[in-house]
Amino acid sequence: MANIRLRADRYGIDWKNLLTLAVAVGAAVLWIARAPASDEALFPMPVGKTYLNECGSCHTAYAPGHLPARSWRRMMAELSDHFGEDASLDQPAHLSILKDLETLAADNPAANQRMRRIAAGVPAGATPQRITETAYFRHLHDEVPKHFWRRKSIGNPANCAACHPRANEGRYGEREIRIPAQ
Amino acid sequence: MKLPLSNLTGLAMLALSGVHAQAETPRQILDSYVAQAGAASATRGETLFRGQFSGGRIARACTACHTDDARAMGQHVKTGKVIDPLAPVAQKDRFTDPAKVEKWFRRNCNEVLGRECTPQEKADFTAYMITLK
């Protein structure tokens, strides 16, 4: 003990600066732990059940932040031939969903960094209708082998929820990915 | 203080109706179709459920997405999304919201048969779904 105290004294270490160090390290750890992980991939989702019930009954309730507003506007204008299906809505639902899509689209003024990246990857004037055709999607899924998509419980790349269990909540975080074996 | 049972039931029903104004039982939904069409036949309903058609754009039969067993989980043939069972015995909220039932008859009849279903077909189909145990 005497030795340690002697050495500590020599370096000018006392309880006061040890405590300062501990508090600083603790604060840093807390700050890091509370910050969202870079892979969290959170997208804001429309409030209420309309979007989930109307759009999410046939496919994943895709987060609006995956496409720019102009894509959504075109899609909503062409709902009677929605990828070959008649998905037209009554007017109140149509208006409410269009508003949600525009408010939360990739290029909305309050978009997060990831959404802005998505919007930046879409050529000016282009109105992509498939999220899977955006540069962002392709880049993030380029390591997924083609045959994975054809597994029965996945079917095709539009089935986000097959591997991203909380896709309907706008959560696509890498740590949550569960790729079904069949 | 003792409350008569009927009062309690009344209160419970009041509470339930507050949760969802449109909620009905599958039996009530069936009754409203029968009122339009006449007697329903679960056998004809099953034939419709298993029938192969060519008028639609998405699928040739209800079973393409809902599987041969309406009590099982289904899967959308195009999007791959899982679909909850269609039979009320397996999925409690099925055939409880008249607007939702109408909406899906309209859409799915169009997508499979290429036309809207008649009240008779809706009555038969609903009757079949209710008989599944």
**pLDDT tens digits for range B61-111:** 999 999 999 999 999 999 999 999 999 999 999 999 999 999 999 999 999
**B17 located within any domain:** no
Partner residue opposite B58 with nearest CB, options A84, A153, A162: A84
The 10s digit of each residue's pLDDT in A152-172 is: 999 999 999 999 999 999 999
How does residue B19 score in pLDDT terms, banded at 50, 70 and 90?
very low
- How many domains would you assign to chain A? 2
Does B114 fall in a domain? yes
Q: Does position B9 have pLDDT exceeding 60, yes or no?
A: no
Do A28 and A117 lie in one domain? The reply is: no
For residue B80, which amino acid is it? Answer: G
Residue B7 lies in a domain: no
Q: Which residues of A are less than 8 Å from B81 in CB distance?
A: 58-60, 159, 161
**B110, A58: Cβ pair inside 8 Å?**
no
Give CA–CA dist B92/B85, Å, rounded. Answer: 9
Which residues in chain A have Cβ-Cβ distances shorter than 8 Å to B78? 83-85, 156
Element at B33 (helix H, strand E): helix B26-37
Tell whether B106 lies on the interface with A, counting CB pairs under 8 A.
no
Q: Which of residues 99-158 of A touch B (CB under 8 A)?
A: 152-156, 158
Distance CA B85, CA B68 (A): 11
Task: Using DSSP, state whether B82 is helix, strand or coil.
Answer: strand
Q: Is residue B9 included in any domain, yes or no?
A: no
pLDDT tens-digit series, residues A81-104: 999 888 999 999 999 999 999 999
Examine the domain organization and report whether A145 and A117 are in the same domain: yes
Assigned domain for A148 exists: yes
pLDDT, tens only, A16-27: 889 999 999 999
Contacts of A154 in chain B (CB under 8 A): 80
Domain that holds residue A65: 50-176
Q: Contact B57/A85, CB-based, under 8 Å?
A: yes
Same domain, A28 and A76: no
User: In chain B, which residue's Cα lies nearest the Cα of A84?
Assistant: B57
Residue B87 falls inside a structural domain: yes
**What's the pLDDT at A100?**
98
Report the distance separating Cα A24 and Cα A174, nearest Å: 30
Are A63 and A139 in the same domain?
yes
User: Has residue A42 been placed in a domain?
Assistant: no
| Amino acid symbol at A147 | H
Among candidates B79, B81, B107 on the partner chain, residue whose Cβ is nearest the Cβ of A86: B107
- Total length of chain A: 182
pLDDT greater than 90 at residue A42: yes
**Angstrom distance (rounded) from CA B49 to CA B26:** 17
Q: Is there a single domain that holds both residue A64 and residue A29?
A: no
Query: What 3-state DSSP class applies to B88?
Result: coil
Contact B111/A85, CB-based, under 8 Å? yes
Q: Work out the minimum CA distance from B96 to partner chain A, whole angstroms.
A: 15
Q: Is residue B79 part of a domain?
A: yes
For position B110, which CATH number holds? 1.10.760.10
A79, A168: one domain: yes
Which residues does chain A have within 8 Å of residue B82's beta carbon, measured at their own beta carbons?
153, 161
For A70, phi and psi rounded to 5 degrees? -65, -30
User: Domains in chain B: how many in total?
Assistant: 1
Q: Are residues A15 and A64 in the same domain?
A: no
Among A53, A58, A153, A182, the residue to mutate for chain B (most B Cβ within 10 A): A58
Q: Which three-class secondary structure string do you get for chain A? A: CHHHHHHHHHHCCCHHHHHHHHHHHHHHHHHHHHCCCCCCCECCCCCCCHHHHHCCCCCCCCCHHHCCHHHHHHHHHCHHHECCECCCCCHHHHHHHHHHHHHHCCCCCCCCHHHHHHHHCCCCCCCCCCHHHCHHHHHHCCCCCHHHHCCCCCCCCCCHHHCCCCHHHCECCHHHCCCCCC
Asked whether residue B101 is assigned to any structural domain, the reply reads: yes
Residue A45 lies in a domain: no
Residues A29 and A63 in one domain: no
> Which tens digits make up the pLDDT trace of B32-48?
999 999 999 999 999 99
Q: Which domain holds residue B110?
A: 23-131
Based on the domain organization, do A150 and A89 belong to the same domain? yes
Residue B46: DSSP 8-state: H
A74: number of Cβ within 10 Å: 13
Q: Give the whole-angstrom CA distance, residue A122 versus residue A69.
A: 11
Residue tagged 């290429």 (tokens): B114
Is residue A44 in some structural domain?
A: no
